[in-house]
Amino acid sequence: MMKRKSNDEREKIGKVNDNIQLNGFLSGAGGTGKSHVIKTACQCAQKLCKALGVKFDKRTIVVTALTGAAAVSINGETTAGAFAFKRKVKDELEEFKNTYLVIVDEVSFASVEDMELLNEKMKQIFDNPWEPFGGVPIVFSGDFAQLSPVGGRPLYKSEHCIVWKEYLNAFMELRTNHRFDKDVNWGAMLGRFCDVGLSTNCKEVAIINTRVVGARSGPRERNIPFDAVYATKTKC
């Protein structure tokens, strides 16, 4: 059986905590910097490894996301691809023997079934069926106010998903929205949607409607910056 935590490199870095395996959830509304934190944490870890003379590669911290687009934005890979969701675990033991941390971004896309499969696959890959996620620290990131899984039960709707309800032991929430640093009012307005939801007669919807490009009272397409994000009545 492969021994995972006994080599010199692991001793040098140490674990997050000697007794408790981190199973964390990093949350925050869109734009609060979840992806930024993931990328920055990986860069810091890479620098630390370099300073310690420890090898750092894409298996030292396994950076994944539930969707391909989200994975690209954090320089990672899909969770399904990294952890063999669609194939038998075979040669992965060696590949993952120096993994210290797993990151799973856009967790709102995960169904209960995805989460259970991830737990099972990680137990196989890390050769440890006794501990959650094969005994490897894991951080999920995402925002349940964003998109839900396609065709599966969202995690927050399931009372019985032990993997999600009982294994997590750390919660981190980012609260400052950086995406709208240059348009604070717009950012605050989107934040309110999250808190109170949308109704067609609320003043925020009226404000958005004044910005529909091409509508009678809205701005003309030629008058907006070429790289602006805008609402339009029809598909472009």
Ligand X SMILES: Nc1ncnc2c1ncn2[C@@H]1O[C@H](COP(=O)(O)OP(=O)(O)OP(=O)(O)O)[C@@H](O)[C@H]1O
Distance (Å, whole) CA 171 – CA 23: 9
CB of 101 to ligand X, least distance (A): 18
The stretch among 12-20, 23-31, 119-127, 221-229 that binds ligand X (CB under 6 A) is: 23-31
CB of 110 to ligand X, least distance (A): 15
- In the complex with ligand X, the residue whose CB is nearer, 93 or 147, is 147
CB of 72 to ligand X, least distance (A): 12
Residue 84's region, left for phi above 0, alpha for psi from -120 to 50, else beta, is left
Question: Tokens 């990672």 belong to which residue?
Answer: 76
Q: How far is CA 234 from CA 212, 214, 230, in A?
A: 10, 9, 12
Question: Any residues with CB less than 8 A from the CB of 59 and at least 6 apart, and which?
Answer: 95, 96, 98, 99
Q: According to the binding rule CB under 6 A, does residue 187 interact with ligand X?
A: no
Binding residues for ligand X restricted to 129-158, rule: CB under 6 A: 143
- In the complex with ligand X, the residue whose CB is nearer, 73 or 158, is 73
Cα atoms found within 13 Å of the Cα of residue 103, Cβ hemisphere only: 29
Q: According to the binding rule CB under 6 A, does residue 33 interact with ligand X?
A: yes
Among 23, 24, 27, 31, binds ligand X (CB under 6 A): 31
Q: According to the binding rule CB under 6 A, does residue 34 interact with ligand X?
A: yes
- In the complex with ligand X, the residue whose CB is nearer, 114 or 143, is 143
Q: According to the binding rule CB under 6 A, does residue 30 interact with ligand X?
A: yes
Overall residue count recorded for the chain in this entry: 236
- In the complex with ligand X, the residue whose CB is nearer, 30 or 219, is 30
- SS3 state at 221: helix
Instruction: Please check whether residue 128 is in contact with residue 137, taking contact to mean a CB–CB distance below 8 angstroms.
Output: no
The stretch among 29-37, 83-91, 159-167, 221-229 that binds ligand X (CB under 6 A) is: 29-37
Task: Report H helices in 53-135.
Answer: 68-73, 79-82, 92-95, 112-125
Residues in contact with ligand X by CB under 6 A are 28, 30-36, 143, 178-179
